[in-house]
Amino acid sequence: MSDLLGIGYSGLKAYSRALSTIGDNIANAQTPGYARRRLEMMEAVGGGNSIFYRGNTSPGGVDIRGLDRSVDQWLIADSRLTSGDAERAAARLDWLGKVEGALSDETNGIKTGLTTLFTTADQLTADPANRTLRAQFLQAVDDVASGFRTAADQLAGMSEGISGAAVSAVSDFNANLDALEQINIGLRKARPGSTNEASLLDERDRLLDRLSSQAGVSATFDTNGAVTLRAAGTGELLVGGGVVAPIAVTAAPDGRLSYSIGGAPLAIATGVLAGLAESANHVADQRAALDAMATDFATQLNAAHQAGIDAGGNPGQPLFTGTGAATLTAAPLTPDQVAAADASGGNGNMLVFGTMRGANDPEARWSGHMATQAQTVAAARAHHAAATTRADAAAAARDSVAQVDLDTEAAELLRFQQAYSAAARTIQVARETMQTLLSSL
């Protein structure tokens, strides 16, 4: 009789825990990073049995083995790898798109200014004394200089923005490292198979997901589920053995980013941090190219203008001053100081300006630069689309194992409710049987 009561009691305890587990699954069906849990149960050893021998009868009820999380470590690792690549591509595409916008004619008007300058020079060949055309020529010069300054300012702002984003991302990364070490401490203390352990493992995986999306990391686990985290590829220890090694970011004068750990260089090839570093390199290259084009452009047009003669018979003055795109400025000339003439005639120098248009003139070089930037953005967009598609597929495969299915949980809920009722009925039968025996005495 006591066996019957014990069987019923073990069933009530096990199925109550199972119903609670199903309730947790349903409540967290939309919680990011939550892995479906399943209560592992086994047949209890009967009173007449032992670990080494089990009789044909004398059932002993049910024992709780522990909670099992529905996860596939290979799918998790693949999801993290693809997520890092997708985040890297997204960060890079975002900033490359902003660079394209800063260099576009709608933003700075450089291309329009160059076209107007050469078009006005052509018009001056027909009417070199026209003061209105001379004023338009000088205005185009000023528009071009202003356009270069605008583009330089925007690129400088982007460089600062990328640096700020990297500092913020590194701070978040280090905070996640600290949180991961606290999870490790909790896992070493948690009772195996408990709800607390499962919750800690969920939070551990959430943190690893975030860290993988920020930078390349490699994780190994001990028997308690505590993680040792290292930088992917290079192997520097980030978390493990009670040690947390934060990383740092440094911006060079030109805006290029470098990462370090413990004062030593740290190479990061994936994640948001890698995308920001690549974006910083691209912006630095664009700033250098912009300065080079502004300097070459000013040198070329200054030399051409200084070769001419103005309306007063004086040698032409430089059209531009400044040493780079950020400082390029139109010289304060008057319409009469436009050097339209040369020794050959009153419009000779403007004719020379007209011959500057060609395969390697400033206008063509700027158009070519913009075309190259557009191709770079298009390639980044294609890479982002491919990386996002693969990351979505990997996440879907991972969720197919770990995600809570409400239909399945509803069926399990009904099954364990019936099992709980059966266990309760077992106790009731034992009580009624005991009462009948006692009443017969």
pLDDT digits (tens, 9 = 90+) for 100-125: 999 998 889 999 999 999 999 999 99
pLDDT digits (tens, 9 = 90+) for 251-272: 999 999 999 999 999 999 999 9
Please report, as a single letter, which amino acid is at residue 209.
D
Q: What are phi and psi of 250, to 5 degrees?
A: -130, 135
Residue 113 is predicted with a pLDDT of: 92
Going by C-alpha positions, the residue among 235, 253, 233 that lies closest to residue 245 is: 235
Going by C-alpha positions, the residue among 16, 30, 26, 5 that lies closest to residue 399 is: 30
CA distance linking residue 186 with residue 177, whole number of Å = 14
**pLDDT band per the 50, 70, 90 thresholds, residue 50:** low
Say which residue, 60 or 285, is predicted with more confidence.
285
Q: How many helices (H) and strands (E) does the chain have?
A: 10, 11
- Other C-beta atoms within 10 Å of 45: how many? 16
**pLDDT band per the 50, 70, 90 thresholds, residue 364:** confident
- β pairing state of 37-43 and 227-231: unpaired
Say which residue, 437 or 257, is predicted with more confidence.
257
Which distant-in-sequence residues (6+ apart) come within 8 Å of 38 by Cβ? 21, 67, 68, 70
For range 173-202, the mean pLDDT: 93
Residue 210 is predicted with a pLDDT of: 95
